[in-house]
Amino acid sequence: MPMSEVVEENTSLIPVINRLGIRLGLQDKTVREICEDHQIDTDFLLIIINTFLNEEYFPEKRLQAFHVSQIIDYLSKTNQYYLRFQIPNIARHLESFISHSKSNNATLSLIGKFFQSFKEQLTEQIRKDATEWFPYCLQLSRQLQHNVSFNQEEMRSFSDNETADDSLEAVLADLKSIMIKHLSGDFDENLCYAVIFAVSSLEKDIKQHNRIRYRILSPLVHKMELLNNMH
């Protein structure tokens, strides 16, 4: 079917296809034609789209059949999309909301601090992904392809990453909760809604992102580590 029809029915997919380099102006090209134009594995894209749209849909075996480099490429592009688009989008809405609200709103500074805390945590995690975890996963994959074992000293554990991600989701949930429960004084309702919708969109995105990180990539890495120990 035409990719445009898929996106028209599910506009929440726009950030998902954008991070893969697919921009609007899809014309009447089919999903397969769009994938061929952008050199994207069609099966991989369809699974990602369906995973994003339906929380009950998560074909672990099919996802684990893809090469580690494909998974990491998608996760890396997602991280960069957060930094370049979604975080700045929330920041713009939040800055506008705070600047148009009356100073008698005691929760404004707290909201700003929560968002800054979230931004710092996410930025640090993305830095670790790019400089530590993802390179480790790719190196391990290459080593196994050439039947070269890691020394034990080279083995790294990243089991604490999941805790960090849980914290990120918790900070976003707290930010949204504060705005819904504890705002007071005079503020612009529409600007408030814009912040909440932007935060909710990122919260959903990170939840789906983390399913791929921890139910697909982490088990694949664990299997590679076990194979490495057997060599």
Q: Name the 3-class secondary structure at 66.
A: coil
The pLDDT-based confidence of 161 (bands split at 50, 70, 90) is: low
pLDDT in tens, 67-90: 899 999 999 999 999 999 999 999
Question: Is the pLDDT reported for residue 120 higher than 50?
Answer: yes
pLDDT mean over 169-186: 86
Greater confidence, 163 or 202?
202
Burial 151-161 (b: 16+ CB within 10 A, else e): eeeeeeebeeb
pLDDT in tens, 24-77: 999 999 999 999 999 999 999 999 999 988 888 889 888 888 989 999 999 999
Give the pLDDT of residue 230. Answer: 67
Q: Three-state SS across 149-160?
A: CCCHHHCCCCCC
Contacts of 52 (CB under 8 A, 6+ apart): 12, 13, 16, 208
Percent of the chain with pLDDT over 70: 89
What is the pTM (predicted TM-score) of this model?
0.85
Domain ranges of the chain: 3-53, 66-230
pLDDT mean over 135-160: 65
